[in-house]
Structure formats: structure tokens, C-alpha cells
Amino acid sequence: MDFLSLFVMDFVKQLQSPTLSFLIGGMVIAALGSELQIPESICKIIVFMLLTKIGLTGGIAIRNSNLTEMVLPVLFSVALGILIVFIARYTLAKLPKVKTVDAIATGGLFGAVSGSTMAAALTLLEEQNIQYEAWAGALYPFMDIPALVTAIVIANIYLKKKKHSAADEYLSKQEYLEKQPVAAGDYPDQQDYPSTRQEYLSKQQSADNRVKIWPIVEESLRGPALSAMLLGLALGLFTRPESVYKSFYDPAFRGLLSILMLVMGMEAWSRIGELRKVAQWYVVYSLVAPLLHGFIAFGLGMIAHYATGFSLGGVVVLSVIAASSSDISGPPTLRAGIPSANPSAYIGASTAIGTPVAIGLAIPLFLGLAQAIGGS
């Protein structure tokens, strides 16, 4: 009873926090048809500053901390990244009207991590004075990269297996695509679809060679979000960025995050239409998956809590990065790695539903859970 009331109070309180209220505000003004726009260049620099700050925090923390206590959370992050893709492969992909490659790509995106969602979680933890390891943000790449690699590898293995019947399936896919009113311009990758059967077969030929893992890892690391974070991590580890961290990156963090949350709310609303074009099972998946992944991570995190003293705040961070789905760095990697998957499916599922659920439901849920466990 005490547990439940603590949890409910906390949940309501968190919806009023700047982070969540700007997210909801963004959805509301987009729904009301506001013409407010945050320029693309502003979003880019905000993402850069948030992830550099998270990296700096992590780097400075790792420089001053005991590396052995990171081992278990890092291993769990890798395991979660891989597991989440397999969950999608054996649930979402089996559902009617869902194409297998689309499902695998969606699993990859939900296994990958959203820097903005993580930033929101870290901010809420601080606002509520819940301790967490300063290096917790550095778990990001350990879940993000394995998820994307796994998704691309099993998608290519799947495609290779059905290669012989592929040419025919491709033709029916083309018909399917032609029936779909895809928003032109936004995701020009549709143009990447090979335009003749010959071309298609020759492309598959090259996929026949073993799927190379290193280029996928490399591409992930080169993406703007991970680059910024790893740059911050390296600068935090090897140089003395404390002065600029304290005077610039740290104080601007919450404010910039509020603008980004607004943008994400507006973006989520505008993408809902795209989801309607693909099978409705994506809606179900993207509502359930963040919470399911978060609960698995919460369980693993509690093991680390009892085994090696991983803090409850750290458990929340692990749960939230498992619950989050990538919105910035993941999509380009997947589009390059699984060109035959339909971006409307995986980006729609992640941005329109996955991210709002992760930020607006999963964060308060796991935070409340941690507080109730810690308080009881």
C-alpha cells in the first residue's frame, strides 16, 4: 500500500517535471497545428552538446573510479542489446502482415539507445536527488552497437536463406510499396530499391559474402550522436575539461534538453500518420516493448545491485536505455545495413510511439519503482 502510493505520487510529480512537460507540450502544440519550428541546426547542436556532456561526465567519472564495478553493468548492456533484437525476431516478425526484415530492423532500433531519452532520465534522477554512478551514461554504446550489429547480421542471414525465392518476392514487394502513400522527400531511401530484377539479384550476390561485422560497428561509432559522446568520453578521460564542463556543458544541459523534448514531442505527433501505413502490430509492439525491455533490464540491474553494489539510480539508467529506442544515430545505420527494410515501419514505431512511451511511461515507472524499493 505504501509502495503503491509512493509510486503513484511520484509518477504524477514527474509528469510535471520540465523534461516530461515539454515533451507533452510538444505533442499538444503539434496536435493543435502550431507552426512553431525549432530549426534543424539548433536540434543538431543541442544533441551534440547533450551527448558531449554525457560523455564528459562519464569520462571524468571513469578516470576517478574503480573499473571493476563497471564489468557487470557493461556485460548486461551488451546482453540486452542482443536479446532485444531476438525478442523482435521471434515475436513481432511472426505476426501476420509483418515483414521479417522490417521486424528485425525495428528490433534493432528498439535495442539501440536514444541519447535524448537517456538525458531525460539522468535529469529526472538529479531532480529527485537519486544517486547514480556518474559513468552510467557510458553504458550507452555497449547496448547500442551490439543491437545494431545483431539486427543487421540476422537480417542478412535471413535474406541469404531465402535468396532463391527472392526475385519473385521482390516483385510482389514492389507492388506492395506502390500501394503505399510514402511521404516523399523525408526518407529518400526508397530510391535505393534496385529498379530491375537483374540489379536486385546482383545486389543480393554481394550480400552473399559473409556479413562483415566491423563496418557496421565502425558506422555506428561514426554517427553524430555516438561520435559526440565518445569524443566527450575521451576528453573526460585524457584531458582536463573540468572548467568548460562546469561553466558551459553542465549548466546548459537541462535547458537544452527541454527544447529537445519539445521537438521530440512534435516529431512524435507528426510521425503517427506513418505508423498507420504499416501493420497495426507495430503499434502494439512499440507500446509493449519499451516496458518489457525495461523490466528485463531492471531485473538484471537488481542482480548487479545485490552482487556488486550497482546503485538503484544506475539500475534506473540501465532500464531506461533498454526501454529507449534510437532516433538519431540508429536509423541511418539500419538504412545502410538493411536497405530492403521499410523505414516507415521502424522509424514510425520508434519515434511516434516508442520514444514517448520510454520517456513518458518507462522513466517515471522505473524511477518510481527504484524509489519505492529504496524507500521501503
Residues that bind its own copies (CB under 8 A): 15-18, 21-22, 25, 28-29, 32-42, 44-45, 48-49, 127, 218, 221-224, 227-228, 231, 234-235, 238-241, 243-245, 247-249, 251-252, 254-256, 258-259, 262
CB neighbour list of residue 14: distance below 8 Å, 6 or more residues apart: 20, 124, 363, 364, 367, 368
- Identity of the residue, 44 or 94, whose beta carbon is nearer to its own copies in the bound complex: 44
- Residue 357: CB minimum distance to its own copies, A: 20
Closest to its own copies by CB, 235 or 362:
235
85 versus 228: smaller Cβ distance to its own copies:
228
Nearer to its own copies, 43 or 201 (CB): 43
Nearer to its own copies, 8 or 36 (CB): 36
**CB atoms near residue 161 (< 10 Å):** 10
Minimum CB distance to its own copies smaller for 29 or for 182: 29
Cβ within 8 Å of residue 283, ≥6 positions away: 275, 349, 353
How far does Cα 302 stand from its chain's mean position? Answer: 22
Q: Which of 43, 46, 81, 48 is nearest to 231 (CA)?
A: 48
**CA distances to 125, 134, 214, 271 from 317, in Å:** 9, 11, 28, 26
Give the 3-state secondary structure of residue 342. coil
In angstroms, what is the minimal distance from the CB of 8 to its own copies? 17
Tell me if 245 sits within 8 A of 56, measured CB to CB: yes
How far apart (Å, rounded) are the C-alpha atoms in residues 82 and 79? Answer: 5
Q: Which of 274, 287, 328 is nearest to 46 (CA)?
A: 328
Distance, CA of 20 to CA of 146 (rounded, Å) = 29
Give me the least distance between CB of 348 and its own copies, in Å please: 23
What's the closest the beta carbon of residue 53 comes to its own copies, in angstroms?
Answer: 10
In degrees and rounded to multiples of 5, residue 87 shows phi and psi of -60, -45
Query: Shortest Cβ distance from residue 263 to its own copies (Å)?
Result: 11
CB of 257: closest distance to its own copies in angstroms?
A: 8
To the nearest whole angstrom, how small is the minimum distance from the Cβ of residue 166 to its own copies?
31
Closer residue to its own copies, CB minimum distance, 215 or 299: 215
